Amino acid sequence: GAGVSQSPSNKVTEKGKDVELRCDPISGHTALYWYRQSLGQGLEFLIYFQGNSAPDKSGLPSDRFSAERTGGSVSTLTIQRTQQEDSAVYLCASSLTSGGSGNTIYFGEGSWLTVV
Amino acid sequence: KQEVTQIPAALSVPEGENLVLNCSFTDSAIYNLQWFRQDPGKGLTSLLLIQSSQREQTSGRLNASLDKSSGRSTLYIAASQPGDSATYLCAVRPGGGGNKLTFGTGTQLKVEL
């Protein structure tokens, strides 16, 4: 597709279960970001991938969160042993590059996670 | 630490009005600033990106300005329409083109018939 694609669009899970969220960036985009948006809160940076470089994981809130990007394209965000405070919208974004010429960042529709 | 503030938090205007949304940031060492809109239950849609060397950008009825030294950006919407109703977010990228955008908490706009 033409835009950033995320799945699932909605996920309800029980506390303690693991979840995987998938992001398919725009074709050709080397930079990929994960953000989290909690109810009534601003967007919180989680992790960033740029090409084959080591990811910037500095925004991950705990070791229950991890992400990988295979083949420089699709990314998966994994949350282990989910807790209720993990309930949020997880937004993926991509851009042609990072910094450099200041490229526009394009977001997906988000994965709405509810932990019950 | 960069902090981004958007005022007002919510705004309601009648259709046809011109309006200005404000974004301020504490650290003027930014690389660029981007405005987004977010519709309920949706992701973010990019509206305009202004690089630090630029003063403004225009797209249709939208005009974004940037005054880096004073830490301010405005988004001007001309002849507002009900379809403009959404939450508007600004985000700054740190100087040097770092990875983390810092977002404001947004202005929720409602344009009434």
Q: What is the distance in angstroms between the Cα of A47 and the nearest Cα belonging to chain B?
A: 9
State the burial class of residue A64 (Cβ atoms within 10 Å of its Cβ: 0-12, 13-18, 19+). middle
How distant is the Cα of B34 from the closest Cα of chain A, in angstroms? 8
Average pLDDT over residues A76-88: 97
CA distances (Å), origin A30, targets B3, B49, B73: 27, 19, 28
Write down how long chain B is: 113
pLDDT at A99: 55
- Mean pLDDT of chain B, nearest integer: 94
Asked if B100 and A48 come within 8 Å (Cβ–Cβ), the reply is: yes
Q: Give the tens place of pLDDT for each residue, B25-42.
A: 999 999 999 999 999 888
The pLDDT confidence band at residue B96, using thresholds 50, 70 and 90, is confident
Q: How far apart are CA A109 and CA A89, in angstroms?
A: 9
CB A113 within 8 A of CB A61: no
Which residue is closest to B50 within chain A, CA to CA? A102
Contact B43 A98 (CB under 8 A): no
Q: pLDDT confidence of B98, banded at 50, 70, 90?
A: confident
Cis peptide before B82 (omega within 30 of 0): no
Digit-coded pLDDT (tens) for B42-75: 889 999 999 999 999 999 999 999 999 999 999 9
Mean per-residue pLDDT for A29-55?
90
Q: What values do phi and psi take at A64, rounded to 5?
A: -75, -15
* Per-residue confidence (pLDDT) for residue A70, from 0 to 100: 84
Distance CA A71, CA A99 (A): 22
Helices (H) and strands (E) in chain B, counts: 0, 11
Q: What is the pLDDT of residues A6-36, one digit of tens each?
A: 999 999 999 999 999 999 999 989 999 999 9
Q: A98 pLDDT band (50/70/90 cuts)?
A: low
Lowest pLDDT segment from B11-20, B51-60, B77-86, B96-105? B96-105
Give the model's pLDDT for residue B97. Answer: 67
